[in-house]
Amino acid sequence: MAKKDTYRETGYPGIKQRISDGKYIVTIDLGRQLRMNKKTGEMEMRQVKTTRYPATLKEAKALIGANNKAKQKSKTTGITNKVPFKRALKEYTEFYKDGWSDSYAGQKQAQAKRMQAYFGSRDVRSISTLDIEEFFKWCREPQQGFPHPLGNNSIQKIRTHLLDLWKYMKKNPAKYGVKENVVIDSDYGDISRFEATILNAEQINYFLEYCVKNEKDYSTFAMLGLPVLTGLRRGELCGIRWRNVDFEKKLIDVEYQRVQISTGSIEKVPKGGKDNGRSREERKQRYAALPDCLAKLLHYIWDQQTDLLDREPEPDEFVFMTKVNLVNNYLPHPGKVSRRFSELQNRMNHVRKKAGLEPIPHVRLHDLRHTFISLCLNGGVNEFQVSANCGHEYDSKGNSTTVATYWHDDGNRDDIIAFIDKTITAKLKIPDMRE
């Protein structure tokens, strides 16, 4: 029997009767809903239908009636002319982009790709707080086109982007029909606060000696030395150029940082600074100490880069460059530095295990910055110098006005340099392989 002969028409739209058992076939239109396109991996609005099988015609007609009533209610609430999310996001971007720096615009663009992939052409008025939270959950898992899941920090930035978008739409209710900011009450998941693990001087000295004795790629000297001996952040470690290193004055000019954007990276001013700032203070540009022990490690890096490039490094070239990056002439990705540091720790602890020693605690790369600050402050170093060295705004209880208003950083890092060189007793001489 052909498929069309398995049921009979009832004379009511959307209702047919199955001949085999006499049950009614009711097709209910649920309207357009968010569904994933399995071919592209993008979330799209699609017409969704479902089928019910009531036993009586009365039940079938009731189902159709209830569905028609729900659709009529949707029409009377005013949700008729749809405003696609993609269009609203584009208009928001066009309105504000002239005030964005290049690096900030790059961040916004990377965030917009994820938001567009998920919400697509969905009507902005149909997006609820729960939808926003589902989007954040989606961001935390690898997706087609987005293989790297996002962490708390990245999702917080996307949340801010969405907050601003909804604020923009609320300013023009006649055009977008948005009455409330659904992002305000959205929860972006459990916040796992990392507790910093601090290394002591003995552990740092061993770590440095291990690198000098065992690591053939001297970029590991910068990956370890710049954060733990001068308190630089990961992005700042990646952003230091040779022109920023003043061996005579024993200072490092922290001018820019390189940060991860999607699968690439951009250069911007240090954390908290304005990319278009007119002064060093506005850009958060600062001087960090260059102790003699770190200077020695940087000289080793300079010499290795000279050998690999068959010339001396140019002033605008970066200090942190792996052998592979130098040979192939491309920059290391900031997002991969933490993984490289973790691998370095594993190699070091493997050596310690073979020597019958307890492993040194596994730390995050950012924990080295915590270690530097803790060592200096616990060692009695001038706290104003430590604060300025690390790019923090010093605010001391009982003396906040004096410090915040009348204290100006003079660039002096002598206390830090003296303390670090006294604390770091590691033998930082590259072994002669010919011996």
Q: What is the pTM of this model?
A: 0.65
- Residues 269, 274, 277, 280, CA torsion sign: negative
Closest to 298 measured CA to CA, from 244, 336, 365, 368: 244
pLDDT tens digit sequence for 292-329: 999 999 999 999 999 999 999 999 999 999 999 999 99
Is residue 22 within 8 Å of residue 8, measured between CB atoms?
no
Flag whether pLDDT at 261 surpasses 60: yes
Is residue 182 within 8 Å of residue 166, measured between CB atoms?
yes
Flag whether pLDDT at 343 surpasses 80: yes
Flag whether pLDDT at 398 surpasses 50: no
- Residues 177, 179, 180, 182, CA torsion sign: negative
pLDDT for the residue 305 = 96
Non-local CB neighbours of 95 within 8 Å, separated by 6+ positions: 168
pLDDT for the residue 26 = 85
* Mean pLDDT taken over the chain: 86
Q: Which range among 213-217, 286-290, 402-406 shows the weakest confidence by mean pLDDT?
A: 402-406
pLDDT tens digit sequence for 367-397: 999 999 999 988 988 888 888 899 887 655 5
Question: How many other C-beta atoms lie within 10 A of the C-beta of residue 117?
Answer: 21
pLDDT tens digit sequence for 123-166: 999 999 999 999 999 998 988 888 888 888 888 889 999 999 99
Mean pLDDT (whole number) for 335-350: 93
Flag whether pLDDT at 402 surpasses 50: no
